[in-house]
Structure 1
Amino acid sequence: MASVEVSLKEMMTAVEGALGAAVVDYTSGMALGTLGGSRDLDLTVASAGNTDVIRAKVRTMEQLGLKSRIEDFLITLESQYHLIRLASSRSGNGLFLYLVLDKDRSNLAMARHQLRRVEEELEV
């Protein structure tokens, strides 16, 4: 099992082109930890904003009566991928992993695979 700090380091080093990573509590919108980012990529603001995305999708699924579990979200920008993976383990319930990637330097399939692996090992 991995702590938040270890998980963040793993997200940033295991995926080529990683620009920033966060572990976020989506009930409050607060980042439990961040790593990377820049002046143009404020991970705390992005974490709070992505919490709204998750809440909206969960609410929509409830209204539609969908019983499936959300695995991840992909937001594609001109130069970046933003991956959001909801934690499903008992110790990670209510959390999500957020990873920002340079679109030209990253392998999206490998990033999704690595994020799934990190999520499985996360323990808070």
Structure 2
Amino acid sequence: MPGIDECLLEAMRLPGARGAALVDWTSGLALGAVGEFPGGDHEAAAAEAAEVARLTAEQRTFAPDGYGRHDSPDGHDGHDGHDGQAGGGGVADPPVEDLIISNRDSYHVLRFVPTSFDSSVFLHVWLARPDGNLALARIRLGEMAGRLVLG
């Protein structure tokens, strides 16, 4: 199972990859970063991407149907409010899988990483638009997020 550095280096092998980071969306800190970033500052890019990720992850509009719903007679559906698993003992699943932001010359793909603790990290890959392949990036980032070992 790859750690942060191995995962980021693998992300940089995606077609069109310009930069990759693992970011904590609650604090805005980059836990690791490789390559280049918009504006030349990976810490600023991490903080700004974290703001977008946090706002998206916290909105019920973007959650799957039934996520965090309180259906039982006691007002609790077995979800602890932080993950998509019943009972809170499983892997914490953020309500959103990924975000794709596009502009005239690039794509930003933010892939939320399920963890065994309160999940608050995502992979951020910056792709050059002429060379980037969004479908491949989504597939590979999903695989990487599933294999990533944090700790």
Say whether the fold is shared (TM-score over 0.5).
yes
One-letter identity of the residue aligned with 2:6? V
**Root-mean-square deviation over aligned CA pairs:** 2.2
In structure 2, C-alpha distance between the alignment counterparts of 1:74 and 1:43, rounded to whole Å: 18
Higher strand share: 1
One-letter identity of the residue aligned with 1:45? A
Report how far residue 61 of structure 1 moved: 1.7
Q: 5+ residue gaps in structure 2?
A: 68-83, 85-94
Q: Which runs of 4+ in 1 moved over 6 A?
A: none
Question: With CA pairs under 8 Å and 6+ residues apart, which has the higher RCO, 1 or 2?
Answer: 1
Cα gap change, 1:92 to 1:105, in 2 (>3 Å): farther
Cα gap change, 1:91 to 1:114, in 2 (>3 Å): farther
TM-score, L = length of structure 2: 0.73
Counterpart for residue 22 of structure 1:
21
Residue deviations 1:61-98, cap 9 Å, x none? Answer: 27x99627200000001000000011013268211000
Counterpart for residue 137 of structure 2:
111
Counterpart for residue 48 of structure 1:
47
SS across alignment from 1:40: helix
Higher helix share: 1
Given that residues 22 and 32 in structure 1 are in contact (C-alpha distance below 8 angstroms), is that contact kept between their aligned partners in structure 2?
yes
In structure 2, C-alpha distance between the alignment counterparts of 1:92 and 1:8, rounded to whole Å: 22
Structure of higher CA gyration radius: 2
Counterpart for residue 9 of structure 2:
9
Count of residues in Structure 1 that have an aligned counterpart in Structure 2: 122
SS across alignment from 1:113: helix
In structure 2, C-alpha distance between the alignment counterparts of 1:33 and 1:114, rounded to whole Å: 18
One-letter identity of the residue aligned with 1:17? G
Cα gap change, 1:79 to 1:25, in 2 (>3 Å): same
Q: 5+ residue gaps in structure 1?
A: none
In structure 2, C-alpha distance between the alignment counterparts of 1:35 and 1:92, rounded to whole Å: 25
Instruction: Say which is worse superposed, 87-96 or 16-25, in terms of deviation.
Output: 87-96
Given that residues 111 and 142 in structure 2 are in contact (C-alpha distance below 8 angstroms), is that contact kept between their aligned partners in structure 1?
yes
Given that residues 21 and 43 in structure 1 are in contact (C-alpha distance below 8 angstroms), is that contact kept between their aligned partners in structure 2?
no
Report how far residue 59 of structure 1 moved: 3.0
